[in-house]
Amino acid sequence: MKPSSARAPGAEPLTILIGALGGEGGGVLTDWLVATAMARGYPVQSTSIPGVAQRTGATTYYLEIYPVRRSDLDGRQPILGLYPSPGGVDLAVMSELVEAGRAMENGFVTPDRTLLIASAHRVYSIAEKSAMGDGRFDSERILRAAEKLARHTVLFDMDAAARDSGSVISSVIMGAIAGSAVLPFEQENFEAAIRDKGVAVEANLRGFHAGLELAGLRLARQSSSANLDRETTAGDTPAGDAPDAGVEGLPPQLRQRIETDFPAEVHGMVAEGARRLVDYQDARYAGLYLDRLARLPAAESFQGDPGDGHKLTRETARHLALWMSYEDAIRVADLKTRRERTEQVRADAGAKPNQPVRIVEYLDPGLDEITAVMPPFVARMLLGIGKRFPSLGRYRHPMKVRTDTVSGFLKLWLMARLRPFRRRTYRYGVEQVQIERWLDTLAQAAMRDHGLGLEVALCARLIKGYGDTYERGWGNFRRILDTLVLPALNGGGAGSLAAGQVAQAVRRAREAALADPEGTALDQVLADGDGGQAPQQDQSMRNANV
């Protein structure tokens, strides 16, 4: 069963709100709909409000179609609006799931009127990517809201449908609109608009038919159920929440160690960390990872709750693998010169097998990134000079490297080949010392209180990125440990608090640092819960003694 209009034909214009990200063809989709209406003789008007680049917002398009042909209006002209109004949208079309959430939040989707058509895939925003912690919006929350707020929904992964059909998402959305039957047009009218446009006609028609079919399936299922079909989000699970892959694919000695030395509940997470470190460096580095993790099960069994699934070991395994695979110039060059990345770029660009694609890498290394891959004595000398001469300390070297050319690719390829020498670099030494300090503190905390040990493990979430982001995260990390954790373990300052109280204070401080990387919120939390202990001097990567 397809949705029918909730109002008498001709009473009001049909209102359509479209939200599309940059490069997704929102303007083309709008032109197709306008052309379809005009060809059928219906009065139509469209406006647009440009968005901004880099996924911080979408371009919004608004259309009004008067559902009476001009030939039946006896020379009268309907007055059509320029802007959507909350509660006054018949069809909300969003090219990405969070954009659908924005439309609902702003009141443009209502249960008495609105058909919501949206893609269930995610394109993460700058705010999500730059968050110190897991800044992703909850997709399930948006889907639950759609069930309650929309009169009908058509939700499926339109981006995947576009790729599978060799088309673009705008043509899939056009098919979904046609399949919803909310507009007074036939399938051939929509197809004619695509043909008349004359751009990539065959590919766009393939995408149109894919969207038409999938929209029909979703609406047919809704006719027998009031709830959103959960298959609309199949395959959209974030990579970080994917099921454990087990110990397959690891060298035999690593696989045997994992199965022998760790509880079965954490085999998948530990194996995933080992795989990451083999890829990052080598099997010996992954062996060091297992050596470090082997300290945890004893401490966990001493204080832990047997029913918690060895959460302390699991979370430590996750964050230790991430910390040990820190990003340096060698890692960046390695990832950017892999065959699968080039194939992904070509696929994202929709390039045909023999079609050339120009790939430009924008790099902006500063003194920290440059010295990170140098021998320690050279790096310390340059960093010391940078302290004495601030202009040198702020030095950056912007670069544009075309990896589709032999010379450009070779530059990054040679940098990636330095991986065997990483153990001799300055930053490698710094990171290993700090990792050992964190693990020692974590083990001591876990022996005293399981909850406190878990909070110390989770503090590693603060350490990420490079440059200023790394420095801020590292500074906040050290302040929490120096102000709250170490005094508690040594019996001074916060040591007068119960272990459970210290764990709560560490959690509040970590959450404050993740929410406000500048440290203002953390200052307040530490002032409220540090037991009178003044924060110690931050220790950054630059002045670490290795």
- Residue 236 reports pLDDT greater than 50: no
SS3 for 400?
strand
Report the alpha-carbon angle 394-398-404, nearest 5: 155
Q: What are phi and psi of 60, to 5 degrees?
A: -105, 130
Rounded CA separation 211/177 (Å): 8
| Options 3.40.190.10, 3.50.40.10, 3.40.920.10, 1.10.340.30; CATH of 14-239 | 3.40.920.10
Cα–Cα distances (Å) from 277 to 264, 283, 290, 323, in that order, read 20, 7, 10, 10
Q: What is the pLDDT of residues 496-542, one digit of tens each?
A: 467 778 899 999 999 888 877 677 888 888 887 544 343 444 433 33
- Residue 492 reports pLDDT greater than 70: no
- Residue 488 reports pLDDT greater than 60: yes
pLDDT score for 57: 59
Residue 51: pLDDT band (50, 70, 90) is: low
Amino acid in the structure at residue 491: G
The stretch 24-53 carries a mean pLDDT of 87
Rounded CA separation 504/388 (Å): 41
Q: What is the pLDDT of residues 261-285, one digit of tens each?
A: 888 888 999 999 999 999 999 999 9
**In terms of Cα–Cα distance, which of 73, 232, 223 is closest to 160?**
232
pLDDT score for 522: 87
Residues 56 and 126 sit within 8 Å (Cβ to Cβ): yes
pLDDT score for 226: 40
Among 10-24, 208-222, 298-312, 391-405, top mean pLDDT goes to 391-405
- Residue 306 reports pLDDT greater than 60: no
The stretch 113-134 carries a mean pLDDT of 82
Among 159-168, 223-232, 406-415, top mean pLDDT goes to 406-415
Report the alpha-carbon angle 21-230-349, nearest 5: 30
Residue 73: pLDDT band (50, 70, 90) is: confident
Rounded CA separation 6/88 (Å): 12
- Residue 122 reports pLDDT greater than 50: yes
The stretch 100-115 carries a mean pLDDT of 92
- Residue 83 reports pLDDT greater than 50: yes
Q: Rounded to 10 degrees, what is the CA torsion of 414, 416, 419, 423?
A: 90
pLDDT score for 448: 85
Tokens 């005094």 sit on residue: 487
Q: What is the pLDDT of residues 370-390, one digit of tens each?
A: 999 999 999 999 999 998 988
Residues 473 and 497 sit within 8 Å (Cβ to Cβ): no
Rounded CA separation 30/17 (Å): 10
Residue 434: pLDDT band (50, 70, 90) is: very high
Domain ranges of the chain: 14-239, 336-423, 449-546
Residues 162 and 207 sit within 8 Å (Cβ to Cβ): yes
**Could you report how far apart the first and last alpha carbons of the chain are, in Å?**
70
Residue 427: pLDDT band (50, 70, 90) is: very high
In sequence order, the 6+-apart residues with CB closer than 8 A to the CB of 240 are 134
Q: What is the pLDDT of residues 178-225, one digit of tens each?
A: 988 889 899 999 999 999 988 889 999 999 999 998 887 666 555 544
Cα–Cα distances (Å) from 302 to 295, 313, 342, in that order, read 12, 13, 49
In sequence order, the 6+-apart residues with CB closer than 8 A to the CB of 468 are none
The stretch 474-495 carries a mean pLDDT of 82
Q: What is the pLDDT of residues 394-421, one digit of tens each?
A: 888 899 999 999 999 999 999 999 999 9
pLDDT score for 63: 95
The reported pTM is: 0.67
What is the residue-wise DSSP string for 315-379? HHHHHHHHHHT---HHHHHHHHT-HHHHHHHHHHHT--TT-----EEEE--BHHHHHHTS-HHHH
Question: What is the percent of the chain where pLDDT is above 90?
Answer: 48
In sequence order, the 6+-apart residues with CB closer than 8 A to the CB of 93 are 16, 17, 18, 19, 29, 117, 118, 173, 176, 177
Rounded CA separation 449/478 (Å): 20
Instruction: Say which residue, 508 or 21, is predicted with more confidence.
Output: 508
Tokens 């759609």 sit on residue: 146
What is the residue-wise DSSP string for 441-486? HHHHHHHH-HHHHHHHHHGGGG--SSHHHHHHHHHHHHHHIIIIIH
The stretch 339-346 carries a mean pLDDT of 86
Tokens 């790939």 sit on residue: 359
